Structure 1
């Protein structure tokens, strides 16, 4: 998380409490009993933000009290929810309305020089809306920054071009973007920020689809970006990306494109092959240089349809099929997540069973299988979603049919609780202080 630097002045406890008046509640972090100078740490599981299907409302579910503590009305029903780079804010995408709104989750950590200070206050809607044509992909450099890729709109008059908007924790608080760049055409793409570099997309004239074929490197210059070069590796059907450590992975028609960040401004690129087209990639900050590529075998016209997984080692430049326990020839992924440790990959299949694969040293091994985590799978979207708690060994799964929140122990896979929500959840994200 980008820290807000506040000079630390050593005060007597009674002096500090006197300063923490109602006018300064936000600055002092709430009540003195919870956030006084002698209490820098808060043992909190954080909060969940839950979107209700088709409704412009996001509910904040406090995981310490296990109940909804606030409801925030947005301009429109969110198409998806994400978490800001430092874990404090809820990012509410409203793709078809060309905007993004933010909710302060109310739990954050500041660097006070000689200690890290935790805060917990009420959540609040941020009075700022980020606008742009078709915000679609949200690409995160955890703890530092995130980029929205705006697809643009070729059907608009005049045509609206694609672009990238960069945010940080501080820029959200200041109600502004950190940096931006606009492309010369609309395109469904991505924008991976790594330090002062940005990897975004272009399409060759002889492309066989409307998707990108190449990555382009930009260097940040103040509040903008300067074009550097197009990377040589060709990646037909480009879709899905994530960065971890010194590597960025991007899904291609015939494998995964790997970009290695060799210096503050330099990169190298190559591709590892997979037998199927990769359309999504999973990764984790603690799973440095390792990725899980997700592909689909078969189609409605040529069943059975099966989701396949590949373990990508960016350091070695290798790809190997990843075995998920009990995965059949017609098993389809409905949701997935990697837990806070970066060692457990959890997949919810089309039957509602949760299947876990555990990283043991340098290899993946079979983990627990829990049947009927979601007893009745929806016939159509919204599908169940999974999010990992960043502070505890817990996964949360939404059950749209039962209208429940399912809490799962990420180490054992066991269902801990089922909480009635009273509404149909469509998206979920976690906010809080990661550990």
Structure 2
């Protein structure tokens, strides 16, 4: 694992999908937030001090999010939300977290308070108290949140029962800070869809209005003009029961019931083709992951069968990782910064998959002798650390990926739900002085 940790270098954010959390030295400590003093270093001072990230934990039964210091796991702030949070995602620059409240049709944002700004010859770090942003977005069933480079697409599924159409909102950290969005687009019908941003272009899902399923069946290309999108074309290859999407530098991929739809971009030109499911595949590809350090993509089934998706050779090859037939995945998370995918199995082993030179099972090691059912995983972007939350017992563990050891454990005094890490990624820390 030491070899692995040395290779897990942080890259520009492509897909944001990690969840993290933390806690204090005791249950009583959790009830008393530590004093958070806003700090702005002098513009002429190149500070070598590392500013720790923030861990956000939403409560399962209360409308609130706890914000912790990711280094010492002390409580920094307890922030109220309008409703109980059902999903939590980091924005592209890792300063804000989108707080999805799907059944209530609301999305709020938390400013983690740790960020950096470009001062020409260096990236300048800042630390201030976390706070709830003024921006609130309303719409029917907000669900998928896909980040690419410095922008993110928030997809609202719409509502069949109330005849509300699906829509997509484009965001970035700057506009969130100003209480605004980049652009918004409404589709012609409802659907459980997604969108991927490619600069001024957006690839979004399409569903026939007469379809008997909420899932889309094709992909369309849009071009952004200021605050709205113009339709360009609909790609001919179909993608029945479409679910799951991701992108790397060359390709955008969408999971289908019969394979994967791959769209290739060359400048302003886009072309599409299908890669069929491997023979004998039970189920379907419903999740796709990608990062800048691999030309190949990682395709995942609901049973956590993993496949290396090779766009150049138009094939999928299974990534074998289970040593025993009774091994099942309890939790997983993807880190675009590491270019790695993590799985915790029902034997208490942590498996790590890397994407360099094609996706492969790089290592695994034992974390727990006993495991329960409900876990959440998340990876820090400024250190070699993985966080594991046992939701059943409300226990939090911090894992050092270099030593393969649990370095901190804390019991939470509330039922925890979703987790997210915010802060300054390692590559920005490296240029902060």
Displacement after TM superposition at 1:287 (Å): 3.2
1:273 maps to which residue? 276
Structure 2 unmatched ranges of 5 or more: 1-11, 14-36, 427-433
2:145 maps to which residue? 138
Is the counterpart of residue 68 in structure 1 residue 37 in structure 2? no
Q: 2:314 is matched with which residue: 313, 317, 328?
A: 317
Displacement after TM superposition at 1:359 (Å): 4.7
Q: 1:217 is matched with which residue: 213, 217, 221?
A: 221
- Whether the 8 Å CA contact 2:294–2:356 is kept in 1: the answer is no
- Whether the 8 Å CA contact 1:148–1:164 is kept in 2: the answer is yes
**Pair 61,261 (structure 1): closer, same or farther in 2 beyond 3 Å:** same
2:6 maps to which residue? none
Distance 2:381 2:234 in 1: 36
Displacement after TM superposition at 1:97 (Å): 0.8
SS of the residue corresponding to residue 192 of structure 1 reads strand
How big is each residue's C-alpha offset from its partner over 1:297-349, in whole Å with a ceiling of 9 and x where there is no partner? xxxxxxxxx431111123443311011253x4454333212346534321022
- Whether the 8 Å CA contact 1:325–1:355 is kept in 2: the answer is no
2:121 maps to which residue? 114
Name which structure has the greater RCO, CA cutoff 8 Å, separation 6+: 2
- Whether the 8 Å CA contact 1:307–1:331 is kept in 2: the answer is no
Distance 1:209 1:329 in 2: 34
Aligned length: 389
Distance 1:46 1:78 in 2: 21
- Whether the 8 Å CA contact 2:51–2:125 is kept in 1: the answer is no
Displacement after TM superposition at 1:389 (Å): 0.6
**Pair 100,412 (structure 1): closer, same or farther in 2 beyond 3 Å:** same
Distance 1:129 1:180 in 2: 14
How big is each residue's C-alpha offset from its partner over 1:388-430, in whole Å with a ceiling of 9 and x where there is no partner? 1111111111111221221122345432221222222211111
SS of the residue corresponding to residue 172 of structure 1 reads helix
2:372 maps to which residue? 377
Distance 2:327 2:241 in 1: 24
- Whether the 8 Å CA contact 2:157–2:191 is kept in 1: the answer is yes
- Whether the 8 Å CA contact 1:85–1:168 is kept in 2: the answer is yes
Greater mean deviation of Cα atoms: 234-243 or 37-46: 37-46
Q: 1:52 is matched with which residue: 47, 55, 59?
A: 59
**Pair 31,148 (structure 1): closer, same or farther in 2 beyond 3 Å:** closer
SS of the residue corresponding to residue 287 of structure 1 reads coil
1:307 maps to which residue? 304
Structure 1 unmatched ranges of 5 or more: 3-28, 297-305
**Pair 207,406 (structure 1): closer, same or farther in 2 beyond 3 Å:** same
Distance 2:341 2:296 in 1: 12
1:364 maps to which residue? 360
Which one has the largest radius of gyration?
Answer: 1
How big is each residue's C-alpha offset from its partner over 1:251-270, in whole Å with a ceiling of 9 and x where there is no partner? 1112221111211x321111
2:407 maps to which residue? 416
Distance 2:125 2:261 in 1: 39
Displacement after TM superposition at 1:39 (Å): 3.1
How big is each residue's C-alpha offset from its partner over 1:58-89, in whole Å with a ceiling of 9 and x where there is no partner? 11111123211111000000111100111100
> TM-score under structure 2 normalisation?
0.84
Q: Which runs of 4+ in 1 moved over 6 A?
A: none
Q: 2:338 is matched with which residue: 337, 342, 347?
A: 342
Distance 1:368 1:57 in 2: 35
Instruction: Report the aligned-residue RMSD.
Output: 2.4
Q: 1:229 is matched with which residue: 230, 233, 252?
A: 233
